[in-house]
Each structure stands twice: as C-alpha cells, then as structure tokens.
Structure 1
Amino acid sequence: MKHLNRFLLATLCILSFSTMQAQDENNPWAISLGVNAVDLYPTGEGDGGDAISSTYYNEFFNATDHWNILPALSRISVARYIGSGFNFELAGSLNQIDKIGDAPANDLSYYGLDGTFNYSFRSLTGDGWLDPVVGAGAGYTWVDDEGGATLNGTAGFNIWFSDNLAFNVQLGYKHSFDQDQLPKHWQHTAGLKFAFGGKDTDGDGIYDKDDECPEVPGLAEFNGCPDSDGDGIEDRNDECPNEAGLAEFNGCPDTDGDGVADPKDECPTVAGLKEMNGCPDADGDGVKDSDDECPNEAGPAENNGCPWQDKDGDGVLDKDDECPEVAGTAANNGCPEPTVEVIEELNEYSRTILFDLNKATIRKESEETLQSIADIMKEYPQTIFHIEGHTDSTGSASYNEKLSRERAASVRQWLIGAGIPEKRMTSEGYGETQPIASNNTAKGRQENRRVEISLDKDREMKETEQDTTDM
C-alpha cells in the first residue's frame, strides 16, 4: 500500500495529542479503535461532479457495491471531554480504494486526519447505556497523491457496556473544498471506545469527581467510601468501623444480644439490662452483679447489695442497732432496757445512800453502794436514768426542795466520776412533795428521806427526735 508513512504520521499525532494537554481529573479521555468504510458513490459523472445526487440515497447502504472496507484496524481516535456534553476528537484513518461508485479502481490509498467537536445526548438523558452523538469539524484527506481539506459532519451512537467501554458507530459526510483534487464522499466507522483519564487518587476504580472519600479506597455502593468491617455500614457512619455490627447500633456489635451495643455495655459478654448498662442483676435489687456482694440475695445498694443483718435477733437491723451483739428493744435503738426488777434493785441500793446531816455530802460508807449502782447502769449503756432526791416535811418546803436537788445532783456527780456518761443521767429534787410514808412518825419521815432512780423516758424521746433531726 502506497504512502503508509502518512497514516503512521497521523497516528503518531493522535497518540501524542493525549499528552500535549494537561489531563483534567474530572474530564476523562477516550480512545477509539475500529474500522472505516469509504463510499465515493456517485463519481460525479453527469451531475457536475456533485457527490450527492437525487438517486444517491437509494444506494446509501449498498455496502457490497459501493463501500471500500479494509478488513483490519484502520481508524484510531483520541477524544477529550470538554464539558456540558461536548468533547473534541482527533482521528486518523486509512483505507484502500478499489471502487468508485460502481466503477473499479486501481488500489488507491486513502488517508484521513480529522478533528471533530462532538455533542453527547447522554448528558441530557442521564448515564444510560445508549449514547446518541452528533458532531461537526474539519480535516484533510489524501487519495493517493492528491489531497484536500474537508468540512465534516457526523452522527452516530455509543453503546456503553461499562463506565469505560463502549461500542461506537458513526456515519460521516466529508465536503471537499477542492473537488478537482478530492471528491465529496462518505466515511463510516465502527469500533470500540475506551474511556480513561479520570483521576482516581485512592485507586478504588471510582473517579475523584464521583468519590466521596477520594483519599481512601472504598466501594461503589458507598460512592467510593470504605466499609472496613464489611457490615454494610460505611465507615464514616459506623461507630465501630473495625468490628462488624448492626445498623440499629450504628454499626457496633451486641455480642451478648441484650440490646445494648458493646461500646456502651459494661458487661459485653453477659446478657444484662439496659438500665444496668448491659450488666445482669440476678436478684433484682438494683445493684448489678459485678458490684453486688450478694448477687443471689436482694439487698440495698448502701449495703453493697446484701440484706441487712440482725445478729442479735431483736428485730432491729444491725445498721440501726446501737447494741448489735445484744438483744434489745426497738424503742431503745436495739439496746436492752432495764426491767422492773433491775430498777427495783437500783432503788434498793439508792435508798441506803447516806448523807451528812442537812448536807448533800455523801458519806464514805455509801461509796460501795454507789459503785454497785454504777455497775448496773453500765450494763445498759443506752438507757437514760433519772436520779430523784426526796425529803420529809421537817423544815420549810423551799429548804427541803433545795436540799433534795443538791443531794440528787451529788449522786449524779459521783456516778459520772465512776464512768457513767453525763448525758445518760438527769437529776432533780422534789423536796417533801412525793412522800411514800407518813411524816407524822419518825419511821415514816426516815422512809421519805431517800434517793430514787427511774428511767427518763421523756429525755430518751427528746434525744431520739434530736438524732432524727440531725440526720
């Protein structure tokens, strides 16, 4: 074939064109490889050399008689997307002319170099598989040693198999400006188009312009963003991107299936309660098992989940029992109270206490008696005792009241010195107002001059109320 170097030169120009321009990351390139058919019918005989006659279109698809087809790769083009559906295509083609219309030819060589601006209707219809295209441009064509410039018009379509591969068909008309050198004619092409050139920084097959995570490899279904754990929730919306989880927990797992996601579950491997942050509470006492010292026995949180004990079995819980080792009464905060017999015993001792005549001074021989009283009182450390002083009716009432008060206070002070807490004793003098015998006889007056010990219930009640107020 003559002048093959022309086609090689055209091909070199086309291929080098792709590197002559800076590549736009958002506007890919495309290379088309295919075959072309050149139709020179009619030759112009009888019609002033016009390549298109009134009868021409009757023979437009008469490929067998009129088309010159080279059964090999005979056309290559490079196209660059410009924007808004437009691209510019530079194409080089070669062919072998063995018929001009119905007349045979003597193996004429055919070379074409064309530049075309194309518009794709796919930009209007969306990213469908059918891509109708029209175009217009110019070129230069040689037939053997003769050549000339042409004004070109094209129409065709692409059928896209994927984002990068399409089958291309194009019908083209070339209008020659110098018909003495080059007749008007048609050139039709078919081949494969390969789209390329978009920037894909992370190499995930999704161009940066469509990639919502262009720096990290991802998946097409997530617009280029990754799903590291493969749970169907993209990493940017996944609170646990490296652990497969559930959508209801924003991608986090729930290992124990208790409805609490593992990151919020304080016991992620044991099914528990939401109100316990995923931990179990076997005894239902509101204290999670991990903090419950008695996990199978309900108890209050303030006692670490264990029930309060009552060691002495007196019905007063140890937490409220001021005498937890000794049975007592609720009225005395769990401590024992003196019985009637104990009070009587105290009074038997107290009635034998002797004072100096008309004085509050306790005689020395009564100290043993007082110590016995102190020993009994120590057995009841929570009981408040009331010490009463009494006299007979001899003397004035005011004097007797003063003397009885001082004697009761003297006994109280002695017991304080013996180790009885001050707050556990009260004292008062009643003078001659509470006789237990007649003041008309010596024996009766002796019985009326006495010290008695009783329980100060009023004082106990007041102290209990005070303690409650202070809590």
Structure 2
Amino acid sequence: MKNLSRLMFAMLLILGYSNANAQDKNNPWQITIGANAVDNYPTEDVGGMFSDFFNVGDNWNILPSLSTISVSKNLGDGFSFGVAGSLNKIENWNAGSVSDLSYYGLDGLIKYNFLEGTTIDPYLGVGGGYTWIDEIGAGTLNGTVGLNIWFNENIGLTLQTAYKHSFEDYLAPHFQHTAGISIKFGGTDTDGDGIYDKDDACPDVKGIAAFNGCPDTDGDGIEDSKDACPNEAGLAELNGCPDADGDGIADKDDKCPTVAGLKALAGCPDADGDGVTDADDKCPTVAGPAANLGCPWPDTDGDGVLDKDDKCPKVKGTVANNGCPEVSAEVQKTLNAYAKTILFDTGKSSIQKQSQAVLGDIIKILNEYPNSNFTVEGHTDSVGSDKLNQELSDARANSVKEYLVANGIEASRLSAMGYGESKPIDKNTTSKGRANNRRVEINLAK
C-alpha cells in the first residue's frame, strides 16, 4: 500500500507540473487527487440506510495520505467521463472492528455538472467498477453526488460521495467519500493570448478577450478586422481612423488633415463659401467663380494674375512681372540683331529710309512686352574726336527713340544714351571692325 501511495503521488506531480500554465475554464481534462473514506455502516440492517452517516470516528475508514486519484474528460454539454483509482485500510466493517484489511477500487464514472463554468459546480454521476477487500473482489454499480468549488479557472476543491452496490455476498454495499484538489488542463492556445483556440475567433493572432481573441493593434476599441486604420487610434464613427482637425473626415481621406474643412471639398476649408478651396482661391475672403480662381474679377489671359492687378490683362505674362510677359535672353538677342541693322546717313543722325522695315519689326517686339522698359544705346567707331563721336552717338540714340515714340511706343518706356567709341565690340583697325562698332543697341532696362 505504501508503494501504491508513492506511485499516485508521483503521478500527481507529473500531471500538475506539465499543466501548470493551463488557464482556460474550458480545458477538457480534469485530474483530482486526494484522500478517501470508506463506510458501510449506514448500509447495514443495524442502523438502516443513512443511519449514523456522519459518525466519522466509529465507522469511517480513512487513510490519512494520498489515497485516490481520478482523471476525467469533458464530453460537452456538461457531461464528462472519468476513471478513478483508490486504496484504503479497513478497520471498521459491518458495525464492528476487523483486522487491517486492504481496500482497492477501480471505477468508471459518467457525470453531469449542473453549473459548469461557475465557482460552485455540483454534479451527479453513475458508473461502475471493481473493488477488492483483502484481495477478494467484486463488481459494483455506483451512484455519485459531488461538488466542485473552483478557486480560479484551473484549481478547485472537489468533495464527493459514492454509493457502491455489489451484487456479490462477499462484498457488502458501502459508501466511499473523497476529498481532493482538482486541476483542469488540456486547452490549446496557439497564439498565447490567454484565450484558448476553442473560444478564440482569431486563434493564430494574439488578441484580447473583449474581441474573442482578435487583436486591436492601435487600442482604439475597434478590432483590426473592422478598423480601416488598424495602426492608428481613431474614432468608431470613422471606422477606427483618426480625424486630427475634427471636421468629420478621416485623415486618410482629408486633403487638408490639419485644418477643418468641408466634406464636399475633401476636408479643405472654403472661407468665402464660393466652392474653391482656400489653398486654390486667389481671393480666399471674397467669393468668386472657380473660372476666376475664386475671385470676383476675371483673369482674361489666364496667366494667374487677375485683370484688376494685371498690367497686361490681354497678354499672358508672369506673376513676377505683374501679369506681363518677360523679355527672354532669346528675345533680347533678336531685338539687338535688328537694331544693329539700322542705317544712318554718314556722319549724321538721320535714319535712312530703307531701315523703316527693321524698325517696324522692333516696334512689334516692344509691343509684345508693354510692361518692360528699354534703353536705346548709340555707339561709334574711333574715327574722329571723342567729343564728336560722343555727340553723334547721343544724337543717333535719340533719333531712334523719337522714331519709336512717333510710331506708338510710349515715351516713358524708353530712354536714350550715347557711348561714343567707349564700348567697341570689334577692332577699329579694319573697315569691317569699324562697321561693327558703328551700331545701335536696344536693351532691357534693369
């Protein structure tokens, strides 16, 4: 008997250690270890059924050590099936004392738990087994009533009484009472989130109990599968997405996420209510049509400068030049190529008639840039005195200016200056070089 007791204790340690981390209340396996008491007095005619049932000192045979172990498996819907082994030493039997008799029992039990999953968990059971007293055995039919008191989801106290009825004369019917510690185990938790696969809606992904084991990565109270922005905490009404500016439009759909705006404008503001977002509205505080970039004034030439501010409202220009076109290096080069071909009478400032065509081309260019000012510059070669050359260059520059003004160019846009022989562009030692130095230039005023 001592060896059997040690064996049962070893089984307890192994099973208890291997399942110490089980936590789910739905763990299908349960092991119970403890002590048992055997009593046949209430079944004898001496006292009648249940007479003197609780006379522990005179009638109960108790082995004060580990003396019973049972293992059961949940079958579902409150039912379970288990087997139990027990041993004892009989000193009181048939209302009298006997010499120490060995007692061994091996029993099977089908039981029904009335309040499975609660702290107080009563049950009834029926089963059968085989019992030996002093190595003489007989089969028994068993009826059981018991109670589990669970301290937590895994560990509890089990109290049980079984009536074991034998149909053999050499084994009297008797009661066997047991008390022990029960441990539930065997549940599977693949993702390790404390919610076992049996009840886990997302068994392969760590989650939380509130969502049946499914995750809420951003912690906003909306499970990831229903969260349009699972990595950013947001609002339930926006399917879990944030709304930084509080305009009711999720940041992911908001073109102006830091400024409260209108849904019709994808979350961007429209201060003047003209349907043009402030960012695109040239007049954000004054309502105007979209065709006018949100301003009440048009932009006829479409250069981004409103007519009211455009100094060239009918000619496409640049914002930097107040809506007027800017003179490019290429245009400047063309302008001076024309100017250099203007011919004067020898030693005079009078323009030859044949230069009128090229002057017409110059006028066309100047009219394309009505907001630009130009300087007409006169230059000579080195033949003659400095004084005469300076006077001649001044006269020729002014002669060209006067011609241009007389043909429609505003005088305020033009200035004239002579440089004499001070800025040659070629050698004055050859006739060709001197011809190149005798010239007029028309340059953009800086």
Match of 1:175 in 2: 165
Is the 8 Å Cα contact of residues 14 and 91 (structure 1) preserved in structure 2?
Answer: no
Q: Take 1:9 and 1:149, find their aligned partners in 2: how far apart are those partners?
A: 24
Match of 2:80 in 1: 87
Say whether 1:240 aligns with 2:229. Answer: yes
> Residue type of the partner of 2:2?
L
SS of 2:164's equivalent?
strand
The structural deviation recorded for 1:79 is 0.4
Q: Take 1:273 and 1:227, find their aligned partners in 2: how far apart are those partners?
A: 30
| Stretch of structure 1 that moved more, 4-13 or 209-218 | 4-13
The structural deviation recorded for 1:60 is 0.9
Match of 1:308 in 2: 297
Deviations 1:27-65 (A, max 9, x none): 7111122222221326xxxxxxx6465534231122233
Match of 2:147 in 1: 157
Deviations 1:268-310 (A, max 9, x none): 2222222222222233332112333443444322233344258
Say whether 1:39 aligns with 2:28. Answer: no
Q: Indicate which of 194, 199, 208 corresponds to 1:205.
A: 194
Higher Cα radius of gyration: 1
Q: Take 2:203 and 2:275, find their aligned partners in 1: how far apart are those partners?
A: 50
Q: Indicate which of 235, 251, 263 corresponds to 2:252.
A: 263
Query: Structure 1 168/120 Cα, relative in aligned 2: closer, same or farther at 3 Å?
Result: same
The structural deviation recorded for 1:169 is 1.9
SS of 1:272's equivalent?
coil
The structural deviation recorded for 1:186 is 0.8
The structural deviation recorded for 1:187 is 0.7
List alignment gaps of at least 5 residues for structure 1: 19-25, 43-49, 312-316, 327-471
Q: Take 1:52 and 1:292, find their aligned partners in 2: how far apart are those partners?
A: 107
The structural deviation recorded for 1:95 is 2.8
Is the 8 Å Cα contact of residues 7 and 111 (structure 1) preserved in structure 2?
Answer: no
Match of 1:58 in 2: 51
Q: Take 1:197 and 1:310, find their aligned partners in 2: how far apart are those partners?
A: 79
> Residue type of the partner of 1:170?
Q
Q: Indicate which of 71, 74, 77 corresponds to 2:67.
A: 74
**TM-score, normalising length: structure 1:** 0.55
Say whether 1:252 aligns with 2:245. Answer: no
The structural deviation recorded for 1:324 is 4.4
> Residue type of the partner of 2:250?
A
Is the 8 Å Cα contact of residues 156 and 169 (structure 1) preserved in structure 2?
Answer: yes
Say whether 1:115 aligns with 2:108. Answer: yes
**What pairs with 1:14-413 in structure 2 (closer than 5 Å)?**
28-41=28-41, 51=44, 54-100=47-93, 103-122=96-115, 127-180=117-170, 182-308=171-297, 318=307, 324=313
SS of 2:58's equivalent?
helix
SS of 1:96's equivalent?
strand
SS of 1:275's equivalent?
helix
Match of 1:459 in 2: none
Is the 8 Å Cα contact of residues 109 and 126 (structure 2) preserved in structure 1?
Answer: yes
Q: Take 2:45 and 2:163, find their aligned partners in 1: how far apart are those partners?
A: 10
> Residue type of the partner of 2:212?
N
The structural deviation recorded for 1:153 is 1.4
- Give the root-mean-square deviation of aligned CA atoms: 3.6
Query: Structure 1 162/16 Cα, relative in aligned 2: closer, same or farther at 3 Å?
Result: closer
Query: Structure 1 41/76 Cα, relative in aligned 2: closer, same or farther at 3 Å?
Result: same
Q: Take 2:65 and 2:38, find their aligned partners in 1: how far apart are those partners?
A: 14
Q: Take 2:9 and 2:138, find their aligned partners in 1: how far apart are those partners?
A: 19
The structural deviation recorded for 1:9 is 6.5
Deviations 1:303-340 (A, max 9, x none): 333442589xxxxx949x9x9479xxxxxxxxxxxxxx
Query: Structure 1 226/310 Cα, relative in aligned 2: closer, same or farther at 3 Å?
Result: closer
The structural deviation recorded for 1:155 is 1.2
> Residue type of the partner of 1:280?
P
Q: Take 2:193 and 2:143, find their aligned partners in 1: how far apart are those partners?
A: 38
Deviations 1:115-151 (A, max 9, x none): 111122337xxx5444332112222223344433322
Q: Take 2:71 and 2:237, find their aligned partners in 1: how far apart are those partners?
A: 50
Match of 1:376 in 2: none
Query: Structure 1 16/71 Cα, relative in aligned 2: closer, same or farther at 3 Å?
Result: closer
Is the 8 Å Cα contact of residues 72 and 83 (structure 2) preserved in structure 1?
Answer: yes
List alignment gaps of at least 5 residues for structure 2: 19-25, 301-305, 316-446
Is the 8 Å Cα contact of residues 117 and 135 (structure 1) preserved in structure 2?
Answer: yes
> Residue type of the partner of 1:30?
Q
Q: Take 1:205 and 1:325, find their aligned partners in 2: how far apart are those partners?
A: 76
SS of 2:198's equivalent?
coil
Query: Structure 1 67/54 Cα, relative in aligned 2: closer, same or farther at 3 Å?
Result: closer
Is the 8 Å Cα contact of residues 36 and 86 (structure 2) preserved in structure 1?
Answer: yes
Q: Take 1:88 and 1:263, find their aligned partners in 2: how far apart are those partners?
A: 56
**TM-score, normalising length: structure 2:** 0.58
The structural deviation recorded for 1:161 is 4.4
The structural deviation recorded for 1:154 is 0.7
Deviations 1:53-78 (A, max 9, x none): 55342311222332223333332211
Say whether 1:4 aligns with 2:2. Answer: yes
Is the 8 Å Cα contact of residues 14 and 92 (structure 1) preserved in structure 2?
Answer: no
Number of positions where the alignment pairs a residue of Structure 1 with one of Structure 2: 300
